[in-house]
Amino acid sequence: LERYTKFLKERAEIELSYAKQIRNLSKKYHPKRSREEDSRYTWCVAFAATLQQLNELSAQREELAESLNSQIVSELSRYTQELKAERKTHFQDGRRAQQHIESSWKQLESSKRRFERDCKEAERAQQASDRMDLDNKTDGEKQKQQAAEESRSFYLSSLSRFNQDQQQHYHSLVPVIYQDMEERRIERVGDAMRASAEAERKVLPEAGRCLDAMMDAAQSIQPRKDTRQVVELFKSGFDPPGDVDFEDYSATMRRSISESSYLDNRTEGRRHSRKLWPFIRKNKTSSWTETSSWTKT
């Protein structure tokens, strides 16, 4: 019982710590001052709603911790003290019951030894009386036999009483003293478990509503609308630039090709001229030689 009480205390502390951290987290990310963009974009509105619902969830965890501490832990602590006092009383009762059964056993052993002793004395008296006269023999034998019968009766009575005490001790007194107390303790632990589960179940509907609100906030986000807001906010007002014209760099290449063809033709003509020039000079020389020879003649 004390262990389960300690468990509930620690759980309540964890719930309080969790609630505090969640609340601080919500405050940390919640805007301290209302800004225009916080209400302009759908995702900002959804995030603010989520933080608000998170704050509500922390309140539910605090309520659960309060229920655990005030209703269950305090009751278990009080019952634990009562159980300790009751256990102390039961231990005293158990000790007295144990002393009683031990005393009954000692009395039984004493009556048993007395019966055994009287029987032996009666037997010895009977053997001794056989050597005496008839009158003394009868009186001595009667006394010993009577003592043996009395011891036997006392032994039987002690035995019956011990058996009754033993039956009552192990089947009535001890179960009442220890077992009933233990059963009530275990039952109280079960009641505390059910109470803690019921306390948490009470906060689940509100927690479920908070989660539903978070889902609705997430579904309300409109990316297209937010991007249009950004476009409207940051557009410059200038018209978009026109198409880029084609720049034909191949015209220069064609001019280069044409000029190259012209130069090639001139070069080719010169090459032909060089080939013809020796023939021309040769013709001129031949003609001059022929003219000279004619003149000399």
List the domain boundaries for the chain.
2-228, 261-297
Model confidence, pTM:
0.58
Percent of the chain with pLDDT over 70: 77
pLDDT digits (tens, 9 = 90+) for 203-212: 989 989 999 9
pLDDT single digits (tens) 108-144: 888 888 888 878 877 777 676 666 655 555 566 677 7
pLDDT digits (tens, 9 = 90+) for 8-28: 999 999 999 999 999 999 999
What does the alpha-carbon distance between residue 196 and residue 4 come to, in Å, rounded to a whole number?
Answer: 11
pLDDT in tens, 141-172: 677 777 778 888 888 888 888 888 888 888 87
CA proximity to 143, closest of 160, 162, 124: 124
Q: Select the more confidently predicted residue: 198 or 139.
A: 198
User: Topology of 2-228 in CATH?
Assistant: Substrate Binding Domain Of Dnak; Chain:A; Domain 2 (1.20.1270)
Residue type, 203: V
Tokens of 141: 């034998």
| Residues 211-215: contacts with CB under 8 Å, at least 24 apart | 211/53, 213/49, 213/53, 214/49, 214/50, 214/53, 214/54
